Amino acid sequence: MSKRTLIRNVHLFDPANGHDGPGGVVLYGDRIVAVFGGDSAIAADADVVIDGQGATLLPGLIDSRVHLSEPGLEYRETVGETARLAARGGISTVIAQPSTAPAIDRPQAVYAVSHRSQGGKGARMQTLGALTVGCEGKELAELGLLAEAGALGFSNGTAPVGPLDTISRALNYARSTGLTVCLGQMDAVWGEPGVIGGELAARMGLGGIPALAEVMSIERDLRLVEMTGVQAHFDMVTSAEGVNAIRDAKARGLPITAGTGIAHATLTDIAIGDYRTHAKLHPPLRPDRDRLAVVQGLADGTLDTLVSDHRPIDTDHKRVPFEQAEPGMVGLETFFSLALSLEDRGVSKARLISALTSAPARVFALESGIRPNAPADLTLADLDRPRRLSEARLHSRCRNFNYEGIPARGVVLKTYVGGKLVFERA
C-alpha cells in the first residue's frame, strides 16, 4: 500500500513552475499530490517525513542523448547499469539513441529498453526509434509502429540520412506521428570523427572535420523542416556557425528546438593534447570561439537542452592510435556538476535547470515539474557542496573520462523516479 511521503525543509527550485524558495512536497504513489511554500509543509499529513536539511529539490533531471551498449556491447554497460549510473547523477529519465547493435528499429526493441531497466534501482529508460532500418540511412523504419510501442521520437543516431528523397519521405512519415525528429548529423563524407579541421589537425597529422560540415548539415535539414513542417530537434549543435543557423531559423519561426553536449560547453580541442583518445568525440571538440558561442547559445535560449552524450567505450577501443579509437566519453555521474559550472560562465541557474528538465520534457512530450499531479520524479541536491572529479570515483565499467582532477560543485543526495527512492548518497 502506498504511503504519503513528505519531503520538507528544502529549497524548491523549478523555474518552469515559478518555484525558487523554501518549501516541501507530498508524494503519494507515483505522483506529487501537494506542494507547499515556506514552513507550511511541516503541518502536512504524511506517513513518512524526510528532512531535506535545506538542500535544493529539483524536478528529476532528463538526459535526452545517451548511447546504450546493450544490445550488442553488454560487456561495456548493460541497460540496468546505465539506469543506475544515471540515478547516481540525479537523472530520473534517460532518452537513449537508437543506434545500438542491432538498432532500435522494431517495436520489440523499444519495449526491451524500458523492460531491461525495470526492477532495479535506476532511472526510467526510454528511447528514440530509428529513423531508418539499422540506422543505415537507406530504408525507412516503421515509424508508426515504433511510435505505438512507446518511442519518444526518431533519430538516425550519429549517422545522417543520405539521399534527399529518403529523408524527405522519412520526415513526412514522422510528421504524421506527431513526434519529434532529431536532425543535424554530419555527413561521413567529411572524414573520420575525432578532431576539428584546421591548424590543430594539420599539426597532429590527422584528417579533421571542419565546422563547415556541421553548419551545412544543419542548413540542409532546416530546409527540409521548412518543406515538411516536421517538429525537429537539433540535439548536438557544437559550432558558432551552427548556433547562428539555429538562431536565425528560430527567428523565422521554424518548428525547431536545439541543444548541445556538456563536453562542447566545457572543453576545447586543446583537450586532445598529445593524441588523448579520451577526448576523441563525435562531433569533435572545437576551438574556444565555438565553445563560447555554445555557452552563449545556452544563456540566451537559442539552445534549449543540454545532454551528457554518455557513450561508454572500453579500454581496448580507446587506448589505441588516435585514428583507430572509437569516439565518445562517459558522463552520467558527473553531468550535473559540470552543468552547474556553466553558471560561472554566464548561464543563469534558471536556464541551466530548464535545459536539464522542462526543456527536454517539452521537446519529447514528457511530464515534468514540481506541481500537483506531476510525476514524482525529483532530484535532491546540495548545489554548493564542492567535489573533485576523478576517474577513481566513477562506478562505470568504462573509464573514458575527460575531467580528471577538475574541481566542481554540486552533489546529488537523492533521486526519485515515480515516487520511488532509486538513489541515496551514503
Partner residues linked to 25 by β-bridges: 7, 35
C-alpha grid cell, residue 281: 568525440
Assigned C-alpha cell, 176: 504524421
CA distance 58 to 10: 10
Residues 151-175: b if buried by 16+ CB within 10 A, e if exposed: bbbbbbbbbbbbeeebbbebbebbb
Rounded alpha-carbon distances, angstroms, from residue 299 to 148, 213, 343: 36, 24, 9
CA distances from 53 to 47, 332, 400, 421 (A): 19, 25, 35, 17
> Which of 258, 406, 283 is closest to 334 using CA atoms?
406
Instruction: Quote helix, strand, coil % in the chain, to nearest 5.
Output: 35, 25, 40
Furthest-apart CA atoms within the chain: distance in Å: 67
The DSSP code for 173 is: H
**What are the angstrom distances between the C-alpha of 369 and each of 13, 81, 92, 357?**
10, 26, 12, 8
> Of the candidates 147, 215, 134, 145, which has an alpha carbon nearest to the alpha carbon of residue 181?
147
CA–CA dist 399, 115 (Å, integer): 26
- Pinpoint the alpha helices (H) of 229-326: 240-251, 262-266, 288-300
What residues pair up with 246 in beta bridges, in sequence order? none
User: How is 38-50 classified by DSSP, letter by letter?
Assistant: TTGGGG---SEEE
- Determine which one of 269, 309, 377, 382 is catalytic: 309
Catalytic-residue membership of 14: no
Q: Round to whole Å and give the CA distance between 67 and 86.
A: 12
Residues annotated as catalytic are 309
